[in-house]
Amino acid sequence: MALIVQKYGGTSMGSPERIRNVARRVARWKALGHQLVVVVSAMSGETNRLLALAKDVSPNPEPRELDVMVSTGEQVSIALLSMALNDIGVKARSYTGAQVKILTDSTFTKARILDIEEANMRRDLEGGTVIIVAGFQGVDELGNITTLGRGGSDTSGVALAAALKADECQIYTDVDGVYTTDPRIVPEARKLDHVTFEEMLEMASLGSKVLQIRSVEFAGKYKVKLRVLSSFEEEGKETLGTLITFEEDSKMEQPIISGIAFNRDEAKLTVLGVPDRPGIAYQILGTIADANIDVDMIIQNVGHDGTTDFSFTVNRGEYPRALKILDEQVKPHVGARAVVGDNKICKVSAVGVGMRSHPGVASKMFRTLAEEGINIQMISTSEIKISVVVDEKYLELAVRILHKAFELDQPTV
Ligand code: ADP
Ligand code: ASP
Ligand code: MG
C-alpha cells in the first residue's frame, strides 16, 4: 500500500462529465489498496471569470478580498469531486486549505506555504477515506484566506506530498507529460520520459506553465517523487507520463538541450544616459525592489562619454508601475536623460544540463535566430540555460526554429 497525492488541474475538472471521470480514476487507484489525497483546481475558466468579475466591480481590488473571492473556485471543485466519489461508493471528504490548515504567510495573491497540519488528514486516511483538498489556497495565522499565485494548485499538491511523505505525487493535466516545448506552439514537440529536477526548475521559471515553479522547488527540497500525467487517457491505456528525476540518481547521458521555454509576460525598461559611476545599479534597482517589483534580466552597457544605458525586465503586469517609478523617482534622482520601455517583448530560452559539458550552444542559438532575421535585444545565461529577449511578434517563429535546430523533434537513441 502506498500513499499517493494526485492533483487534477482545471481542464481535468472542467465539466460534470470530466469530474465523474476524475472520480473513476481515483476509485481505480483506491481499489488497488492505496491511500489517496486528491488536490483539485477550480473548473477551467472559473478563476479567470472571478478575477474579471472583481475588475468589473472595482478597478483596484484589495488583495485580501481577491483571495476570499478567487478561492471559491476550488471550494466548489472539492465538494463536487467528493459527491462524485461518494456516488460510486468511495468514501471521500473535502477539505478547504483552512480546514487542513495549510498555513501560509500573509502575502495575499502570492502567499508562501509555511506549514501543513497532518493530524486531520492522517485520521481520515487511516479510516480508508479519500481526502479531497482545495488547491491554490491556504490560511494565514490570523485566519485570513490566502492564495498561492496562478497555477498554485501544483504547489499545494507537491507540498502536501512533502508534508505527508507520500510515495508519489502525480500531477494530472491535459497533456500526457512534459514536452520539449509547449505542444500547442510546436506540434512536433516530443514528450520526455524523464526530465531532471534542475531542468524542470529552469523550464518552469522560464515560463513553461505545465508546473508552477514553486511546486518544483518543493519537490527538490523534499525529494518528492513527482510525475506529470494525462487525466484524459482511457482505462487500460494509461502511460507513465514524465518523471522528474534527480541528476545524481540518473546514470543516463543527458541530452545537450532538453527543451525550449518561452515567456510572454515580460516587459523591458531602459534608463538612458545615466552617469557611469558606482552605485547607479543599486539606486535604480533598489527603488524598484522597494516597490516589491521583481526584476528578471539586467543589462548595463559599456560607458561612453561618462554615461551609460541600463535595461532590465519585469513582469508585464508590473510594467506601468515600474515605468512610473523610473520616470518620477529614479530619473530625477540619478540624473538620467530619459526612460523608455517596451512591453511587446518575449523571452525564449534553451534549457539543458548537457550544456555544461558542450560548448557552442549559445553560438548555435544566435546563428539560428540571425538566419531568420530575428534581432536579439538581451541575453542572459546560467550553467544550464541561455535566454534571449526578442520582439514578441517573433515568439512562435523563434521557438519553432530553435526546437528544430537543436533536433528536439528527433527521437533520442
Ligand atoms: P492544469 O490546468 O492541469 O494545471 P496547465 O494549463 O496549467 O494545466 O498546464 C498544462 C499546459 O501547459 C499544457 O496544456 C501545455 O499547453 C502547457 N505547456 C507549456 N509548456 C509545456 C511543456 N514543456 N510540456 C508540456 N506542456 C506544456
Ligand atoms: N485555479 C488557479 C488558477 O487558475 C490555480 C490552479 O489552477 O492551479 O490559477
Ligand atoms: Mg496549471
Q: What is the pLDDT of residues 243-297, one digit of tens each?
A: 999 866 565 666 789 999 999 999 999 999 999 888 999 999 999 999 989 999 9
Cell readout for 186 is: 510546436
Give the residue, out of 209, 212, 257, 385, with the most ligand 1 atoms within 8 A of its beta carbon, to mutate for a pocket test. Answer: 209
Question: What is residue 250's predicted lDDT score, i.e. its pLDDT?
Answer: 60
Region 191-207: what's the mean pLDDT?
94
Q: Where in the chain is the domain with CATH 3.30.2130.10?
A: 260-405
Provide the grid cell at 220: 527538490
How much of the chain, in percent, has pLDDT values that exceed 70? 98
Tell which one of 15, 40, 182 to mutate to probe ligand 1, the residue whose CB is within 8 A of the most ligand atoms: 182
CA–CA distances in Å: residue 93 to residues 84, 134, 159: 11, 11, 19
For residue 101, how far is the Cα from the chain centroid? 23
Of 3.30.230.10, 1.25.10.10, 3.30.2130.10, 3.40.50.10490, the CATH number of 260-405 is 3.30.2130.10
Mean pLDDT of the chain: 95
Task: Assign 186 a pLDDT band (cuts: 50, 70, 90).
Answer: very high
Give pTM, 2 decimals.
Answer: 0.93
Residue with the nearest Cα to atom 6 of ligand 2? Answer: 151
Give helix 72-87 / helix 16-31 axis angle, nearest 10°.
60
In sign, the C-alpha dihedral spanning 277, 278, 280, 283 is negative
pLDDT tens by residue, 321-344: 999 999 999 999 999 999 999 999
Q: How confident is the model at residue 196 (pLDDT cuts 50, 70, 90)?
A: very high
Residues of the chain with CATH 3.40.1160.10: 3-250
Q: Give the per-residue pLDDT at 357.
A: 83
Instruction: State whether CATH 3.40.50.300 applies to domain 3-250.
Output: no
Distance CA 321, CA 311 (A): 16
Q: Is 81 helix (H, G, I), strand (E, B) or coil?
A: helix
The yes-or-no verdict on residue 97 having pLDDT over 60 is: yes
Distance 62 CA to ligand 3 centre (A): 24
Is 307 within 8 Å of 275 (Cβ atoms)?
Answer: yes
Distant-in-sequence, close-in-space partners of 270: CB < 8 Å, separation ≥ 6: 309, 310, 311, 339, 340, 341
The number of helix segments (H) and strand segments (E) in the chain equals: 14, 20
Quote the CA–CA distance of 345 and 297 in Å, as a whole number.
13
With contact defined as beta carbons under 8 Å apart, do 395 and 262 qualify?
A: yes
List, for residues 42-76, the tens digit of each pLDDT value: 999 999 999 999 999 999 899 999 999 999 999 99
pLDDT at 10 over 60: yes
Query: Whose alpha carbon is nearest atom 5 of ligand 2?
Result: 151
* Confidence band, pLDDT 50/70/90 cuts, at residue 413: low
